[in-house]
Structure 1
Amino acid sequence: MNKNPFGDVTERLDKDRYETDIEESHIKVNQEAAAKSNAVDLLIRICPAHVYSKQPDGSINVMYAACLECGTCLAAAPVGVLSWQYPRSGMGIIFRES
C-alpha cells in the first residue's frame, strides 16, 4: 500500500488555524437569487469545507468560520447568488505545513 507522500488531507488540515471574524462574514448569500437558481444544493455539494447547509425553510446557512477560502463556491455559483471577498486582514484560515 502506497502512502501519500504529502500526508492525509485531514491531518494536514488539522494543522491549520482559523481566526474567526465574529463581526463580519466574508460570504453573503442573496437568498432570493439562490432559491430561484436552485443554487442551494450546488453549493452544498461543491464546498470542500462543508460551509453551506440547507435550512428547513430551504434557505442557505453559511458557516463562514470554516471556509478554506478556495473560491470554489464563487466560481460555481450562478451570478448574483454570492458576494464573496477575502476576510479582513489577519482573519480567516491560516495554513500551516509544519
Structure 2
Amino acid sequence: MSDVKITVNVDKCLAVNKYEPDEQTHIVLADDPDDAEFLKLVRVCPAALYKIEADGTKRFDYSGCLECGTCRIACGDTIVKKWVNPAAGCGVQYRYG
C-alpha cells in the first residue's frame, strides 16, 4: 500500500469547464423567496450561484450553473418554481473527467 496522497483542486477543475448561458434562465425562483429556504440554496449549490449580500439582499445567477439539480432537490417543493435543462447548445460543457 502506498502513502501517496492525491488531492484534487475542485475550483481548478471547474475553471476549465465552458459555459454557454441561455438567454432565458432555466431556473426560476419564487418572487419573494423565504430566507431560510434561500439559505439552503446558498449552502448546497456547488457553483455558489446563490448569495446573500451583507445588507440581506438575495442574489442568484444561473449562468454558471453546473446543472446538477441540487437546488431542485433541496428546494423544489418550496422556492424553486421551475428547473429544466438549458436549451440545446447552452449550459455547461464539462472539460475535465
TM-score by length of 2: 0.80
Deviations along 1:54-98, one digit per CA (max 9) or x if unpaired, are 35465x322101111110010011514111111101101000127
* 1:21-60 matched pairs, under 5 angstroms: 21=22, 23-32=23-32, 34-35=33-34, 38-54=36-52, 56=55, 58=57, 60=58
1:19 is aligned to: 20
For 2:21 and 2:70, locate their aligned partners in 1 and report how far apart those are by CA, in whole Å.
20
Contact 1:27–1:62 under 8 Å retained in 2 = no
For 2:65 and 2:76, locate their aligned partners in 1 and report how far apart those are by CA, in whole Å.
19
TM-score by length of 1: 0.79
Question: Structure 2 unaligned runs (5+)?
Answer: none
Identity of aligned residues (%): 30
Q: CA RMSD in A?
A: 2.1
Moved over 3 A (4+): 55-58
- What is the aligned length? 92
CA change 1:78–1:27 in 2 (3 A) is closer
Aligned mate of 1:3, from 2, 6, 17: 6
By how many angstroms is 1:11 displaced?
2.1
Contact 2:17–2:94 under 8 Å retained in 1 = yes
